Structure 1
């Protein structure tokens, strides 16, 4: 294990050297060498605008305008940087600014009724204007998260077209992008590849929702930048954002949800003094069992969570160096759905018996047997260094992920499963000087990983993994056409130990190596001021995950027994994306389509017993259905659409519509079925929303909304071996209202948000809910467990600001 720590310790040394040595040698007087003073006024009235966000993403320097509409940003490396200027109710400006010494500029913002696409995306090789990215990207900011209710961060993303969730109760959700999930979707948090047990249905992403500032969803193969495991896309989550120089900011946030009595308390404190900047946050969340009209209280759907984290570092004219840390701790019950003949949920007790769950059990926030405890510790360095007219970004991180599963009522401290995973991630990107209009980056990234089983059972064996990949990417804008593309090569080596059942070997040790090329080429064309076209073709690859190669055991949280296949090959995909965006003052229209062809697509299916029924295995008295991983050719295709209408003269009214449709087909049918399993159902969301910039002097940024969420019936299912069942469609009604309460001086004192979901209390099952396949309710004949019923949420947010 000492080898694992060498690159991390080297990164810590680099951080300490640049963060403290460089500051000591440069002196405070050098700060003005690279600074940017901006004045922001209203385009109509000419009045200064307070509270406008001004941010340089690539060097992580930003701030907000004061009452005079002025903000001064310091400690900026000289050179060309992409700036984003944004404020609620105004158009967003993004453009490149050449910082030379003390640079000054004046901007005017126009009031807007349609969101434009001037947003900046950072999840590519560097900060890029959204309208110049040749594939589809969705962005959610902090205010979007505040105005919606969800039980975890992934659920909050699911209203974006092309994004769904695979859930195992309210605490655990996995991102699904265009019908693909598990190790095909990569999560990045503050530049660090998030590594836990993402191969499992009941394994979430281990990130604190309350601390998130911004989320970018990159749809389509992102293997070019990130390597294997990004063939479906990337969820780029940004938590830590530096505040303006010589200021301190704090925030207190609370949320209460009525259905499962979920209560959240979060606080953070950040500051910046002469380039030395920091942020620290902490949150606590607890929820009892949720309820719905058919099941009542769903036994053991409770969970509790405690998190803390932050960063500390220095920003100077040479760049920045930050040290990030976080600690995530979740205890979540595992819903099995077992009931007696009268339909009452039962719980296991010591001695092998079962009793009916009580109100005390339902109302507790402490999970009962079976449950899992997930802990995720992360520490990383995030650095950017100016090298002449080039820039080098360096990120090295260490993560320790522990997942414990408790399932023995006779010994509540016994760990049935215990995965102890340690990962070193590294990434270096060299952004070369712009030459002839070409913006080029080259880089290398990868990880080293080691997993040890410490429980009494093994689902997957101990293993060691190492991968590394290098890429080159370039982009150029020629008049109104932006071209971009690149290539990458990766290699991954896996050493798998014996899979044990006690002292017996269930499967022998083995080693595998995987390597392949990835690439993409795309273009965006700004046909007119209002019309933008995009097209991209990409080739990605994904090495099989450890469970797909070597699992052999009970996967309790998914109520199945899994068999891996040691001889699986790498998945290869070729995806074509195309779309156009049309924006006018009163209409915004965005439509895109994709076709993704896979060779060696990996899926799991039920095993068939000799009598033609399901193959089952008895584990400690429980019959688990047996599943096996296999490969075939497959293709996914789909369409996504967003339409935002602001009927004149009711400019305050938004009628927003989003639609998603994805289909998955096998090239050759299996047992008469050619549908890929677990493809999300088509979905149409229509939201009527009223935005009022100012109601009274002390009520700003008010909104009221009403939403109709239609999920259609999913009949295109994988029927072979009874793997999947049809899911009926449903319509949910949601509503919300909120506003900022401000002082006489225009300073926001606090904001309030009230959201109601599933107002009609519809009993429904999402097609991608794993609880849909829980035990049958013998009293009603209904299979599985249903999703959450009517729920009301109230959010209270208090921002605080000081000058240092």
Structure 2
């Protein structure tokens, strides 16, 4: 409490000083006009030809426009002030410019053709939209076109080729993001302005965001506790889904996807409109897949899933700011792969009910092609309602975001009663985020804010793994950014407090969970700089202190964690994890070469991990859970260190500007400060990875086919020989190389786009491999082949069709 009072006192002193300075410098904010109109033209810098359908967007205002056939755009009745705007067009380098809007403003833009995105806008980890080149922490941007060109089975899978990003997977439907070797509750996932609150600690389910509805993803690699509080120890993945369309337009989109390996089929449709600042939109998606296959396992029984999602938004963009209301519903049904096989044939077994008893049979035929999961399976439902608001106060701006989320995870494992919910977590969360953005003065940007959440979890299943609990988070922060010509300095300080109240539970006369109350508080912060040494070279350096409070499973688990083959015990004496990370980076963007390189060192105190328990006889501690025998694990903590590097090199030689030779490399090493059972390696550290890609971009201006691309890729994952082998937790994993290829184009008629086609083939040579972060690597042994676990997906070809629908034209 004393820390909180001290922090508030310092914060108030800074604000008082800032207010005095603003008044003494004659802050003109209150005398400025409250609305503005912006018009202009976007053209090709070399030919002068207009660029129709170019995008003009103000991220902080959540509004924008598109150009008409003559390349002219028009934005009316927008809030006056100073904002960062982004002008973009496919095949051209985006232009980012900070513009002061007062009254009627005319601004023309000339874009240069480029097959490499040299600049981009980010809103992740900062208080207001900022150029990626001006952020000291590495940020990767993945655009809609990147999602369309890849072949992914889930949303996190689509991100995993970004340098420094990996995934812990449990089959095609279930993936968790890992950033620089850290994941689960150490990565914050944000969707449309609200941090996603599901069961981040769990292995056997993914993130509850509709893959088909995401228009952009931003990945911040490094501690981001300054803006997001606890759990942002590793970084942030920000999915931006609902982007309002331009004024005076009504647009839609139809998308379909089919993948050959597991017969995955997907459908998506959306529509949105904007009339005089009143905005609205709606979408719906369906995805279903049968069991996937590879050449070692054949069809992997019960790796099937289906998913149904919908959502929409309404709101108003006016001269005073904006108010938006978002609603989303996510509903996924996933089979859980146990990997049990017949000892004589090596074929997968399924659970069946026979004469009122549980029996096993060999799975065959339609068992593999159905998209309805067998027992065991799970259903994950996530409902979210978010109110996002921004109000202009002269040159200043106030933003307020409030959200409600309900996450329900139900696990079904009783074949005698398939509707029985063995586990049922019902998690409800209220998020809040209030920020005051002072108008930019002398290139200073200042933001103060308070954000956090109130959360409650209840158990409604037949079994329990974690206790019921209530949680309340509150965080106060100050963020500053200052530009000195080519130099940008940014950073700030934050104080957080988390209060956790865990409930007691008595199971059949035995106290399974004891009641307890915990309070975790911490001060975090960051300071960094970005220096544009020249037009083509940017240098970055950042220091960040992050933290993470222990999660309820780490503190109080007591039960069988289905799908993991573990019986887990929590440890109530765990302390908060605290990290100190140093980042350095170099970006070079020239006409023929683009290079991005970064290194990092992350020291984590009180790193939490789970380890096997040892019985008194020195053997593994094994508990009987019904008919199952489960290894016993307990959470523990020691100091740890992670370090590594990422490199991306794109060569596009002149005059062969259509040719790209791109290479990216990721490396991370994680070590415990003390050896545990003969191993000092951290668990779940991804292996080094090298991606080699050759891409050809053709037909920028075609009469029938436009923006044709052809790509060939070699995905090399090296051996992971630094596994956490203590207590037989992990095993080493051999390396492998996958050959992938793809092509796509836009079909046009009389200059108007009709549809886009994307064809991608992954693992063309049908390599049998296991990723080190695949949890299916540790399911049952095939006694016929002697191979442990299940292998990853074999050859897979993806076909995508995307049809844009334009019902009106921008003014």
Q: CA deviation at 1:624?
A: 1.2
Equivalence for 2:3: none
Deviation sequence 1:174-226 (CA, Å, 0-9, x none): 00000000100001100011100011111211000000000000110000001
Counterpart-to-counterpart distance in 2, 1:56 and 1:360? 51
Is 1:742 the equivalent of 2:745?
no
Equivalent residues of 2:125, 2:224 under 8 A apart: no
Deviation sequence 1:433-463 (CA, Å, 0-9, x none): 2223210111110000000000010000100
Counterpart-to-counterpart distance in 2, 1:666 and 1:147? 39
Q: CA deviation at 1:32?
A: 11
The answer for unaligned runs of 5 or more in structure 2 is 1-32
Counterpart-to-counterpart distance in 2, 1:628 and 1:591? 38
Q: CA deviation at 1:618?
A: 1.4
Equivalent residues of 2:349, 2:361 under 8 A apart: yes
Secondary structure of residue in 2 paired with 1:393: strand
Equivalence for 1:65: 67
Deviation sequence 1:9-51 (CA, Å, 0-9, x none): xxxxxxxxxxxxxxxxxxxxxx994221120111111111112
Equivalent residues of 1:32, 1:75 under 8 A apart: no
Change (3 A) 1:32 1:526: closer
Change (3 A) 1:671 1:120: closer
Secondary structure of residue in 1 paired with 2:700: strand
Secondary structure of residue in 2 paired with 1:143: helix
Counterpart-to-counterpart distance in 2, 1:660 and 1:85? 31
Is 1:697 the equivalent of 2:692?
no
Equivalent residues of 1:114, 1:585 under 8 A apart: no
Answer with 377-386 or 435-444: which moved more.
435-444
Q: CA deviation at 1:500?
A: 4.1
Answer with 499-508 or 512-521: which moved more.
499-508
Equivalence for 1:115: 117
Equivalence for 2:315: 313
Secondary structure of residue in 2 paired with 1:485: strand
Equivalence for 2:347: 344
Answer with 503-512 or 132-141: which moved more.
503-512
Equivalence for 1:802: 807
Equivalence for 1:3: none
Equivalent residues of 2:91, 2:700 under 8 A apart: no
Is 1:565 the equivalent of 2:567?
no
Secondary structure of residue in 1 paired with 2:342: coil
* RMSD over aligned Cα atoms: 1.3
Normalised by the length of structure 2, the TM-score is 0.94
Q: CA deviation at 1:310?
A: 1.5
Deviation sequence 1:313-336 (CA, Å, 0-9, x none): 000000000000000000000000
Equivalence for 2:21: none
Equivalent residues of 1:89, 1:693 under 8 A apart: no
Q: CA deviation at 1:695?
A: 6.5
Equivalent residues of 1:57, 1:122 under 8 A apart: no
Counterpart-to-counterpart distance in 1, 2:237 and 2:388? 18
Q: CA deviation at 1:402?
A: 0.3
Is 1:378 the equivalent of 2:384?
yes
Equivalence for 1:631: 637
Answer with 124-133 or 71-80: which moved more.
71-80
Alignment of 1:574-723 (within 5 A): 574-694=580-700, 696-723=702-729
Secondary structure of residue in 2 paired with 1:340: coil
Secondary structure of residue in 2 paired with 1:415: coil
Answer with 605-614 or 620-629: which moved more.
605-614
Q: CA deviation at 1:504?
A: 2.9
Q: CA deviation at 1:697?
A: 0.7
Is 1:410 the equivalent of 2:416?
yes
Q: CA deviation at 1:135?
A: 0.7
Equivalence for 1:14: none
Match of 1:782 among 784, 787, 808: 787
Secondary structure of residue in 2 paired with 1:433: strand
Secondary structure of residue in 2 paired with 1:595: strand
Alignment of 1:182-221 (within 5 A): 182-221=184-223
Q: CA deviation at 1:692?
A: 1.2
Secondary structure of residue in 2 paired with 1:547: helix
Equivalent residues of 1:402, 1:419 under 8 A apart: yes
Equivalent residues of 1:42, 1:49 under 8 A apart: yes
Q: CA deviation at 1:292?
A: 0.5
Equivalence for 2:271: 269
Counterpart-to-counterpart distance in 1, 2:508 and 2:652? 65
Counterpart-to-counterpart distance in 1, 2:626 and 2:370? 27
Equivalence for 1:178: 180
Secondary structure of residue in 1 paired with 2:212: helix
Equivalent residues of 1:123, 1:216 under 8 A apart: no
Q: CA deviation at 1:275?
A: 0.4
Answer with 614-623 or 579-588: which moved more.
614-623
The answer for unaligned runs of 5 or more in structure 1 is 1-30
Equivalence for 1:96: 98
Equivalent residues of 1:245, 1:274 under 8 A apart: yes
Equivalence for 2:22: none
Equivalence for 2:44: 42
Q: CA deviation at 1:638?
A: 0.6
Match of 2:548 among 538, 542, 551: 542
Deviation sequence 1:214-247 (CA, Å, 0-9, x none): 0000110000001001010000000000001111
Equivalence for 1:733: 739
Deviation sequence 1:82-124 (CA, Å, 0-9, x none): 0011112111100111111221111111112432124444552
Counterpart-to-counterpart distance in 1, 2:785 and 2:580? 46
Equivalent residues of 2:396, 2:437 under 8 A apart: yes
Is 1:759 the equivalent of 2:764?
yes
Match of 1:528 among 513, 534, 539: 534
Is 1:51 the equivalent of 2:53?
yes
Equivalent residues of 1:249, 1:800 under 8 A apart: yes
Answer with 343-352 or 729-738: which moved more.
343-352
Counterpart-to-counterpart distance in 2, 1:387 and 1:624? 60
Equivalent residues of 1:92, 1:119 under 8 A apart: no
Counterpart-to-counterpart distance in 2, 1:148 and 1:695? 23
Counterpart-to-counterpart distance in 2, 1:731 and 1:614? 35
Secondary structure of residue in 2 paired with 1:549: helix
Counterpart-to-counterpart distance in 1, 2:48 and 2:347? 66
Match of 1:465 among 471, 492, 495: 471
Counterpart-to-counterpart distance in 2, 1:113 and 1:229? 36
Change (3 A) 1:695 1:482: closer
Match of 1:388 among 375, 384, 394: 394
Alignment of 1:455-494 (within 5 A): 455-494=461-500
Answer with 163-172 or 685-694: which moved more.
685-694
Equivalent residues of 1:113, 1:586 under 8 A apart: no
Deviation sequence 1:264-293 (CA, Å, 0-9, x none): 000000000110001100000110000001
Q: CA deviation at 1:673?
A: 1.1
Q: How many residue pairs align between the two structures?
A: 774
Match of 1:792 among 783, 794, 797: 797
Q: CA deviation at 1:64?
A: 1.7
Change (3 A) 1:187 1:353: same
Q: CA deviation at 1:557?
A: 1.7
Counterpart-to-counterpart distance in 2, 1:50 and 1:246? 16
Answer with 685-694 or 595-604: which moved more.
685-694
Normalised by the length of structure 1, the TM-score is 0.95
Q: CA deviation at 1:503?
A: 4.9
Equivalence for 2:360: 354
